[in-house]
Chains A and B, each alone.
Chain A
Amino acid sequence: MIEVVLNDRLGKKVRVKCNDDDTIGDLKKLVAAQTGTRADKIRIQKWYTVYKDHITLKITRSTTEDMGFEYAEVHYSSIYELGRDYG
């Protein structure tokens, strides 16, 4: 189980517990359950890499280093930056 921190740079910071074989689509649903936006309105990205729904979190972890947080333009209701995972 990992805990993922997501930040939309507009004040919503969300911590979600999930498995590392969950996909981004599942993560979006969990975030939607927690924040009240619709799951299909959420875009999850790390810096400018937008993650598509079928990617699993295990893969996002292994292929990206920890980047500093940068501001991302909000094109949809919510864009979430994946933060550091805490085991």
Chain B
Amino acid sequence: MANRTDPAAKSIRGTNPQNLVEKIVRSKIYQNTYWKEQCFGLTAETLVDKAMELDHIGGTYGGNRKPTPFMCLVMKMLQIQPEKDIVVEFIKNDDYKYVRVLGAFYLRLTGIDSDIYRYLEPLYNDYRKVRRKSPDGNFMLTHVDEVIDELLTRDYSCDIALPRIKKRWTLESLGVLDARKSVLEDDFEEEEEKDEMEQDGLEEEVAHEKDYYRARSPARERERDWRRDSHRHRDRDYDRDRDYDRERGRGRDRERDRDRDRDRDRYRLREEKEYGYERERDREREGRERDRRDRERGRRRSRSRSRSRERKRHGRSSMSPRRHEAEDGNAPEESKKKGKKEKKEKKEKKDDGTDHPDPEIAEANRIRASLGLKPLKL
């Protein structure tokens, strides 16, 4: 009995609602003691009590992929299929944040797109801390709004594949949803105006950014207040929101920070041209490498490809004395390479083996260093 869906339950996306959780994870849940002991014969009311006892969220953890109680309760909800009102109550309740997250998760799995956005977006304002069990069994700190962001933007959360939902701007263009209004909008406007004043002195590169964050004319500012009350969105905000939402997630401040950082780096690089062309190249290379490592780590196909990439890099900046080559100890002749030499010496003092002559071993040590492991013992 325990594992069969309620016969009165509707099928979701054409299938047994329990099939939303994939087979392997599902079997893990069925074999779990928490499921067998606590989740037997739960109804919607008793489920609330169990949910109130939750103290962490998470997917499967450990070597044998043990599911968390959170997952068991999600499974139970899929099995009994509580009514939408009950789920909305879960979400609306303010006292128990884990009940909220549970309700949000269930809605994300089973609700229709417009409902999902409508009910989950207010939860962006909930900034309470939430404990999350990571796959290796330790606990991590996260927040309710981070979890909601993950639900709305990612395909996968807590070891359950989230069903596809339409993008927000699709629903907006269909007229089903209004444009996204962030509660922090007023704060953003103040920030923007501060930014305007800061950026006035900076160079042209920021010009295109300036257009993006154009200051409001005072007339518009006056209109803002009554417009806000009449629930009409501003055209510019609408476009901006659409763009941001297209970028997935609350990228507004993130994007601004990224742009600001990029500009800052660009200035720094230009300054350092005086100190030495190579230094800039090193920094670029490191930055590029860091980016590459972060982004491409998963996609690195074969060692030869990365080796050839390294060779290319060698070739490109062949003017400078490479730390791998034989002329390591030789004093650089030109004065402009003095800065480079100091930097090189600092690098040689590193003991993580990334300056090993054999490029394969250097590469392996680089990966190990990025993973936090000690270098290879040869």
Contacts and interface: CB of A to CB of B under 8 A. Distances in A.
Nearest to A32: B298
A17 B364 contact: yes
Contacts of A37: 298
B367 interface: yes
B135 A40 contact: yes
B24 interface: yes
A32 B299 CA distance: 10
A53 B61 CA distance: 12
Interface in B24-64: 24, 63
Contacts of B370: 33
B136 A33 contact: no
B: contact size bracket: 20 to 34
B376 A1 contact: yes
B110 to A, nearest CB: 26
B300 interface: yes
Contact of A29 (B24, B360, B371, B374): B371
27 contacts: A1-B376, A17-B360, A17-B376, A18-B376, A19-B374, A19-B376, A19-B377, A26-B371, A26-B373, A30-B368, A30-B371, A32-B298, A33-B297, A33-B298, A33-B371, A34-B367, A36-B298, A36-B299, A36-B300, A37-B298, A40-B135, A40-B136, A50-B63, A52-B63, A53-B63, A75-B24, A76-B24
Given A1-B376, A33-B370, 11 more contacts: A17-B364, A19-B374, A21-B377, A30-B367, A30-B373, A33-B298, A34-B367, A36-B298, A36-B300, A40-B135, A75-B24
Interface of A: 1, 17-19, 21-22, 25-26, 29-30, 32-34, 36-37, 40, 50, 52-53, 75-76
Interface of B: 24, 63, 65, 135-136, 297-300, 360-361, 364, 367-368, 370-371, 373-374, 376-378
